[in-house]
């Protein structure tokens, strides 16, 4: 799938709980308690009941691959090519879809429905973030 735009989640007050979660190796997403529906972290209101007080709840961290795209960064100054990055749309076990990078994947092994597990990266600068690795 060409031209997939991967949204980057930023800490903006509404997503603090998400980044507090990733900093602690936990995947935290939105949930509507009355409906029992789960949503992506950037969901604002529940389409089922209109509730704008969605709660944050820990997700299992398991997902399946929906689609992905491979990007190649610019070569470094010395001409060496960076490894390709795999940007994916994954479906969490709870149902919401999430944009995230894949890690530790073999391009030839990528397929729709591939079982994935969340892993957390804690860069020296910036927010911790989640990426997904093959579940086995």
Cβ neighbours around 48 below 10 Å, total? 12
Q: Interacting stretch for Zn ion, rule CB under 5 A, among 7-15, 31-39, 58-66, 84-92? A: 31-39
What's phi and psi for 16, nearest 5 deg? -55, -40
Among 7, 48, 82, 95, binds Zn ion (CB under 5 A): 48
Comparing CB distances to Zn ion, the nearer of 46 and 131 is 46
Comparing CB distances to Zn ion, the nearer of 32 and 114 is 32
Residues 65 and 91: their CA atoms lie apart, in Å, by: 6
Among 4, 23, 49, 135, binds Zn ion (CB under 5 A): 49
C-alpha angle 100-114-93 in degrees, rounded to nearest 5: 65
Residues that bind Zn ion (CB under 5 A): 32, 35, 46, 48-49, 51
């Amino acid at each position: 799938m060409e031209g997939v735009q991967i949204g980057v989640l930023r800490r903006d007050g509404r997503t603090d709980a998400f980044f507090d979660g990733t900093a602690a190796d936990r995947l935290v997403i939105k949930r509507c308690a009355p409906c029992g529906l789960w949503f992506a972290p950037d969901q604002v209101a529940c389409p089922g009941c209109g509730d704008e007080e969605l709660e944050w709840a820990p997700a299992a961290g398991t997902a399946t691959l929906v689609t992905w795209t491979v990007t190649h960064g610019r070569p470094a100054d010395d001409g060496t090519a960076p490894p390709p990055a795999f940007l994916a749309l994954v479906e969490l076990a709870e149902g919401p879809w999430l944009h995230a990078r894949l890690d530790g994947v073999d391009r030839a092994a990528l397929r729709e429905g591939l079982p994935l597990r969340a892993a957390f990266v804690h860069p020296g600068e910036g927010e911790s973030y989640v990426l997904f690795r093959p579940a086995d």
